[in-house]
Amino acid sequence: MRYPKVSECVDVFEALWPTALAESWDSVGLAVGDPDAEVRSILLALDPMDAVIAEAVVLGSDLVFNHHPLMLKPVKSVNASTLKGGAVHTLISNDIALFNAHTNADSARGGVSDVLISLLGIDNAQPLVPHAEGSPTGIGRVGDLPTPTPVRDIARTLSNRLPRTTTGVRIAGDPAATVARVAVCGGAGDSLFDEVRASGAEVYITADLRHHPATEARDTANRNDGRPQLIDVSHWASETVWLTAAAEQLETEFAERGLSVALQHSAVNTDPWVERY
């Protein structure tokens, strides 16, 4: 066993979460780092926030693996006095590479939405928006519960199995409605209501539901058969549970290639909300 180079880590990431699965608007891959640098330790975190990068410095990590990209939108400067430039300079000055798998990790089998829907005992879910007809990969997941369940009980299960957050778990619609078919999208999913309705889902679980999309979705539901009911969870909570599964996949893939690297989970909670009144 030997330590991998950054480029070999990228090969491992690509094998698990191919860039080809990313949405066209997304930014994924190696954002910072020397491909020839040696990697002994990888820190896994959801967001490339300053606190996570500082944690990587303290831990002596050689690479930070994130879900969310540091530079989703183009930047014109990496001046150290700018928000993005400051992060880039800290990473480079401490010889830390930065890589992210975003919508490619949402779409891949065993990815973010697979992990989210598995919390409800659904392990045969199909993509809500497949990349192609019959494809096993795509955005979101839809599947059937082992037993029809009231919406409020699904919300309580999620509250118990997701990390605790200030915003908690919220229901829009009828909490007492009994449902069997479930659609989920880890992270922000209020752009997928048409696909959710087309899937026949009776409840839709996602994050960051805004007022207007949620009220319009409920009006649309009420003018028809009342579906889907809505469950809104924390963006951070809906995705951070995937990091444990990602670490397990990485351990297996590195070992199969004869590579040795320490994987550490970030202790930083990057959910931005800290109090509610």
What's the average pLDDT block by block, 10 residues per block, for the chain (277 residues)? 97 98 97 98 98 98 98 92 96 98 97 98 96 94 98 98 97 98 97 97 98 97 96 98 98 98 98 95
Which domains are seen in the chain, by residue range?
6-105+241-265 (3.40.1390.30), 120-235 (3.40.1390.30)
The annotation status of 102 as a binding-site residue, yes or no, is no
The annotation status of 202 as a binding-site residue, yes or no, is no
Which pLDDT value is given to residue 39?
A: 98
The annotation status of 235 as a binding-site residue, yes or no, is yes
Give the global pTM: 0.95
Which pLDDT value is given to residue 107?
A: 97
* 118 in Cβ contact with 184 (< 8 Å): no
Amino acid at 34: D
The annotation status of 212 as a binding-site residue, yes or no, is no
The annotation status of 67 as a binding-site residue, yes or no, is yes
Which pLDDT value is given to residue 61?
A: 98
Tokens of 202: 């009776």
- Cβ atoms within 10 Å of 82's Cβ, excluding its own: 14
Which pLDDT value is given to residue 193?
A: 97
